[in-house]
């Protein structure tokens, strides 16, 4: 009764927000559009995005980069709405979750430096959210032209130390920086969650994140086996040092296999083996997304009056952002609609 009362208002709010997510039928409509401007016009009239677009956009607005910025702002806007409807304890979870957004943005800064790509981030529109939920000076960090300037901009934040450590490593590269940020995120979350969560909330968040960490470790080791030549110790140094249902010895055995085929054989002996059976034409990344989608939806169905309603919605909206970005890129390069639907498995479990 207590949890139902605590979550009744938030659950109702999130139910309304979920009703505005793109449906399978709407995805099918979008994949049939012929240009990026058509996608932008479609979303501008969609209930989930209409308020984020200019009332009278000029011709220069109809570009993929502007759409990606709108989708990103939508993530922050809906996060802020959920925060407003949350209790103090629920806000503690959201404040810790915002670390995910911080790391996403820092990775964009890093990739611009290493790949010489445009930043494609609307800093002025994101800055109010960071002023509210973060201590990162995003305007200064966004202006950094190299890693030294970025580290200086992040001085005093929790990101300064891991970035410095990665900077000092031999063979300094983008991969080292991104891994250091990912390790920081999950280790921090795992350590902090028990300090402000208890009961069902702690159980569902532990299950969601423990499951995610196991699958990320599986995915990372698989990529190492399939695409790179790395020693067992090097592989184990990059996995998240948290063991949920995949035990430490099992991770060692997976990292110690000779190749991807041997990896999959060992994987089938674990609790994740059946669900991560990877056919030749399906990537392990798609298997990861499918399993995570199913797991989040299952947790929400089992415990709707808990933090499961929050974490599931945030996951689903981020997946929607990724899916719309992929669809737009495919349309930009004139992929046939049936090929886009097949590639994205439109209408499948993830939608």
Q: Could you give the C-alpha distances from 291 to 13, 87, 214, 229, 298, in angstroms and in order? A: 26, 30, 11, 27, 10
Task: Output the pLDDT for position 102.
Answer: 98
Burial class (CB in 10 A: 0-12, 13-18, 19+), 55: exposed
Task: Output the pLDDT for position 175.
Answer: 87
Task: Output the pLDDT for position 258.
Answer: 93
Task: Output the pLDDT for position 6.
Answer: 85
Task: Output the pLDDT for position 279.
Answer: 57
Task: Output the pLDDT for position 120.
Answer: 82
Task: Output the pLDDT for position 282.
Answer: 54
- Smallest CA-to-CA distance from 67 within 109, 37, 28, 34 is with 37
Rounded distance, CA 175 to CA 194, Å? Answer: 30
Burial class (CB in 10 A: 0-12, 13-18, 19+), 229: exposed
Label each residue of 70-123 as H, E or C: HHHHHHHHHHHHHHHCCCHHHHHHHHHHHHHHHHHHHHHHHHHHHHCCCCCCCH
Residues 276, 48: contact at Cβ < 8 Å? no
Low-confidence ranges of the chain (pLDDT < 70): 1-2, 170-171, 275-283, 346-351
- Smallest CA-to-CA distance from 82 within 316, 302, 290, 294 is with 316
Buried b (16+ CB within 10 A) or exposed e, 262-295: ebbeebeebebeeebebeeeeebebbbbbbbbeb
């Amino acid at each position: 009764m207590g949890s139902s009362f605590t979550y009744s208002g938030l659950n109702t709010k999130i139910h309304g927000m979920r009703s505005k997510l793109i449906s399978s039928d709407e995805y099918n409509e979008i994949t049939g559009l012929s240009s990026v401007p058509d996608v932008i016009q479609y979303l501008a009239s969609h209930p989930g995005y209409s308020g984020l677009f200019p009332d009278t956009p000029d011709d220069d607005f109809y570009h993929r980069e502007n759409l990606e910025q709108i989708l990103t702002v939508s993530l922050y806007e809906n996060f802020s709405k959920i925060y407003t409807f949350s209790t103090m304890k629920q806000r503690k979870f959201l404040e810790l979750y915002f670390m995910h957004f911080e790391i996403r943005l820092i990775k964009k800064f890093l990739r611009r430096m290493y790949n010489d790509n445009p930043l494609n981030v609307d800093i002025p529109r994101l800055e109010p959210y960071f002023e509210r939920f973060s201590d990162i000076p995003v305007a200064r960090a966004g202006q950094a032209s190299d890693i030294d300037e970025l580290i200086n901009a992040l001085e005093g934040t929790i990101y300064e130390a891991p970035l410095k450590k990665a900077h000092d490593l031999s063979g300094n590269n983008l991969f080292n920086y991104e891994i250091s940020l990912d390790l920081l995120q999950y280790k921090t979350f795992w350590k902090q969650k028990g300090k402000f969560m208890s009961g069902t909330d702690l159980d569902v968040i532990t299950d969601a994140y423990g499951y995610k960490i196991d699958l990320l470790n599986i995915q990372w080791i698989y990529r190492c086996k399939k695409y790179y030549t790395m020693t067992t110790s090097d592989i184990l140094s990059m996995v998240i040092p948290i063991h949920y249902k995949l035990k430490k010895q099992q991770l060692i055995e997976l990292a110690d296999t000779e190749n991807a085929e041997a990896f999959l054989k060992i994987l089938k002996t674990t609790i994740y083996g059946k669900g991560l059976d990877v056919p030749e034409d399906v990537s392990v990344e798609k298997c990861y997304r499918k399993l995570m989608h199913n797991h989040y939806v299952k947790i929400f169905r089992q415990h709707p009056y808990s933090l499961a309603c929050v974490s599931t919605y945030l996951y689903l909206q981020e997946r929607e952002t990724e899916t719309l970005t992929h669809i737009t890129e495919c349309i930009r390069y004139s992929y046939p609609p049936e090929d886009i639907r097949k590639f994205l498995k439109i209408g499948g479990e993830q939608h």
